[in-house]
Amino acid sequence: LQGLPPHLVVSGDLDVVGHPALSNLSGLEGVSPTSVRVYGNTGLRSLHGLQDMEELLGLEIAYNPKLADLEGLESLRTINGVATVHHGDGLTSLGGLDQLEQANLLSLQDNRELADLTALNDCSIESLTVEGNDALESLGPVRDLWISQSLALQDNESLQDLGDLRLPETLTGSLHLTG
């Protein structure tokens, strides 16, 4: 993304939508928006450029078919609202979210090749939805994933093992486990 002023301040949302020639997000270093939406960028291979963000109110990563992981979000520690990662045809892991400590709502939907959630080690999430991730066989490698309110595991064709998933004795929300 050439031509943006260095140290650009964005006090609202950052939307990167529908740029087929864009391969990475270089040029956005130092930008600290409240929410990020990276959507429909068919040539995007990397989120590098977003590595300085530590806290967001919202995050949406969707319809970026060449994105294999979430590398570039390594500094992200807190999502105080909704985070959705969906329809990532090439997404195989959540690598890049390794430092995420807390999220209000995280939704992982229809990422057909997503097989690895270990980036969520030691993470506390109020509500988690994992739906339609056909390659996901196990949550087993994930350590100390804490869900405090709601959990939905739906239509993950290969999922067989919940691993070290930690739930409180009482979920204040709901529990959905469907094939």
% of the chain surpassing 70 pLDDT:
95
DSSP the chain: -TTPPTT---SSEEEEE--TT----TT-TT---SEEEEE--TT----TT-TT--EEEEEEEES-TT--S-TT-TT--EEEEEEEEE--TT--B-TT-TT--EEEEEEEE--TT--B-GGGTT-EEEEEEEES-TT--BSTT--SEEEEEEEEEES-TT--B-TTEE--SS-SS-EEEE-
Q: How does pLDDT run across 13-37, given as a tens digit for each residue?
A: 999 999 999 999 998 888 889 999 9
Given a cut of 70, whether residue 6 has pLDDT beyond it is no
pLDDT digits (tens, 9 = 90+) for 101-111: 999 999 999 99
Q: Average pLDDT over the chain, rounded to whole? A: 92
